[in-house]
Amino acid sequence: MRDDGPRDVKAATRAHLVLDNFWPYRLSVISNRISDAIARQYSDRFGLSVPEWRVMAVLGGMPGLSARDVAQRTAMDKVRVSRAVANLVTVGRVSRRTDAQDGRITRLSLTPRGQDIYDQIVPMALKLEEDVFSTLSAEDRELLDRVMAKLAHQADRLGAFPVS
């Protein structure tokens, strides 16, 4: 009996996927763990969501950005940015003023209170980054840098790019 029927032929040639060996999955799990650990810190202490912190993070370094600029630099869509900014304005951590030249644009900045919080979170975040990545040798970091650049490039090529 040489033919076991279609079902078993299929089974015999079946491709398998083991999540634990699947690069995209592993990358996702690790990345989320690290992000969550950092988010927990500023969320616990300052009641900030991830989108809110991202907005503050870019405004801390570049005051006066528009919401659209912030969206680009944080890889978030404009709705998320809009809502995060609305919350931050409500609690007095970000200020908003309409651009003098173009009435559609709002210029965003940290308020002094927002700046205070930024000044407290940045060292925490940098320390956590250091905690996680310091076990890597200089060589490892360099490799990771190259690898991530390559992966970013490949991901873009896939058209994985609806970052409005």
Partner DNA sequence: GCCAGATAGTTACATATGAAACTATCTGGC
Partner DNA sequence: GCCAGATAGTTTCATATGTAACTATCTGGC
User: Rule CB under 8 A: which residues touch its own copies?
Assistant: 7, 10, 14-20, 22-24, 26-38, 40, 54, 57-58, 60-61, 73-75, 112, 119, 122-123, 125-126, 128-129, 131-133, 135-136, 140, 143-144, 146-148, 150-156, 158-162
Between 52 and 117, whose beta carbon lies closer to DNA? 52
Rounded to a whole number of angstroms, the distance between the first and last alpha carbons of the chain is: 58
Residues 90-109 that bind DNA (CB under 7 A): 96, 101-106
The site partner of 76 among its own copies, DNA, none (C-beta below 5 to 8 Å per kind) is DNA
- Tokens for 115, please give them: 């700046």
User: Under rule CB under 7 A, how many of the chain's residues touch DNA?
Assistant: 26
Check binding of 30 to DNA (CB under 7 A). Answer: no
Binding-site string for DNA from residue 54 to residue 93, where x marks contact by CB under 7 A and - marks none: ------------xxxx------xxxxxxxx-xx-------
CA distance 43 to 33: 15
Between 81 and 110, whose beta carbon lies closer to DNA? 81
- Tokens for 9, please give them: 């032929």
The radius of gyration of the chain's CA atoms, rounded to the nearest angstrom, is 22
The site partner of 102 among DNA, its own copies, none (C-beta below 5 to 8 Å per kind) is DNA
* C-alpha distances out from residue 102 to 70, 97, 106, Å: 17, 11, 9
**Per-residue buried b or exposed e for 96-105, using 16+ beta carbons within 10 Å of the residue's own CB:** eeeeeeeeeb
Q: At what angle do helices 78-90 and 50-61 cross, to 10 degrees?
A: 80
